[in-house]
Amino acid sequence: MTNQKRGKRKRRRFRLRLILVIALFFLLVASGLSIWVIFFTDVFRVREVKVSGVNHLESEYVRQLSGVDGYDNLITLPVRKLEKNLLQEPWIKEVIISRKIFGTVSIKVKERIPIAVLDLDGDVYLLDGEGYAINRDPESKMIDLPRISWISALPPEEGIRVNDEKIQGALKILSRLPAGLKSLINYADPFNKKGNVLKTKEGIEIYYGKADRLSDKNIALETIFQDIRERKIEVEYVDVRVPENPVIKEKISRKKV
């Protein structure tokens, strides 16, 4: 190899090393600048916290429960930790916390929807469609929800799912009832010998049976109650345990002789 070629190789290696050194220098400068911007300026400071999706809970309560006020930097905000804090509240089913531009923290909450009141000899709990005990002693706010009486050795814990098979069946039925029918119901008995028995506010019993064939049974019920309204008849009970062959028992009017 000639001296000229050796010289060219050395010059190429030198230029390559110089480029790498310069690149490393600028990388360190950029990293240092980024660290300075993140930790020592107000560029990524938390300026606003927006809470959405709340209905029963107060926005300020959700904010405080999350613990977001203990952090002032958007980049280092421990999002998963804050979400875990909020999921300890029985009313909260899901939560998503995200960082937005201009220093905004977004807290989106999905609350549980109560569909029944579980009554343990006067000790009452709100239940959602999955059977989670949301809240204790809800009489003042949820008096219009259907009531389920339950004899149990131990009351449920708030935020814990009631796993009783019959309770779960009754909740499945109530959650699938059309809105028009659901508004009529004030009591559900999943422990009746006839299976699930619902009772309307007017005192009409509905023999629903097992928590199966829900669509067929609900269609039959809607048709029957529409007929009851149109004919203005008084009914003792409606039996849709066999939905293709429902039974209606009218009240017998007793006239004085």
The confidence score (pLDDT) of residue 194 equals: 93
pLDDT confidence tier of residue 138, bands split at 50, 70 and 90: low
Q: How many residues are recorded in the chain?
A: 257
Long-range (24+ apart) CB contacts under 8 A made by 195-202 are: 195/241, 196/169, 196/170, 198/146, 198/173
Q: How much of the chain exceeds pLDDT 70, in percent?
A: 78
Residue (of 200, 202, 178) closest to 189 by Cα position: 200
pLDDT of residue 3: 57
Query: What's the average model confidence in pLDDT over 61-70?
Result: 94
pLDDT above 90 covers a percentage of the chain that reads 60
Q: Calculate mean pLDDT across residues 131-151.
A: 79
Higher pLDDT residue, 158 or 201? 201
What gap in Å lies between CA 155 and CA 119, rounded to an integer? 10
Least confident of 12-16, 180-184, 228-232: 12-16
Confidence of residue 60 (pLDDT cuts 50, 70, 90): very high
pLDDT of 36 > 50? The answer is no
Q: Reply yes or no on whether the pLDDT at 153 is more than 80.
A: no
pLDDT digit string (tens) for 165-204?
999 999 999 999 999 999 999 999 999 999 999 999 999 9
- CATH tag, 114-250: 3.40.50
Which among 131, 151, 37 has a CA at the least distance from the CA of 90? Answer: 131
Residue 238: other Cβ atoms inside 10 A: 21
Q: Which CATH architecture has domain 48-111?
A: Roll (3.10)
pLDDT interval class at 253 (50, 70, 90): low
Average pLDDT, the chain: 84
The model's pLDDT over 109-135, given as tens digits with 9 standing for 90+, comes to: 999 999 999 988 878 899 999 999 998
Report CA-CA distances (Å) from 176 to 8, 145, 158, 217: 82, 14, 24, 11
**SS3 readout for the chain:** CCHHHHHHHHHHHHHHHHHHHHHHHHHHHHHHHHHHHHHHCCCCECCEEEEECCCCCCHHHHHHHHCHHHCCECCCCCHHHHHHHHCCCCCEEEEEEEEEHHHEEEEEEEECCEEEEEEECCEEEEEECCCEEEEECCCCCCCCCCEEECCCCCCCCCCCECCCHHHHHHHHHHHHCCHHHHCCEEEEEEEECCEEEEEECCCCEEEEECCCCHHHHHHHHHHHHHHHHHHCCCEEEEECCCCCCCEEEECCCCCCC
pLDDT tens digits for 70-112? 888 888 889 999 999 999 999 999 999 998 877 899 999 999 9
pLDDT surpassing 60 at residue 254: no
Give the pLDDT of residue 202: 92
Q: Where are the domains of the chain?
A: 48-111, 114-250
Q: Which residue has the tokens 């220093």?
A: 103
Report which of residues 39 and 143 the model is more confident about.
143
Domains 48-111 and 114-250 fall in the same CATH topology: no
CA distances from 157 to 87, 125, 142, 162, 190 (A): 15, 9, 19, 9, 21
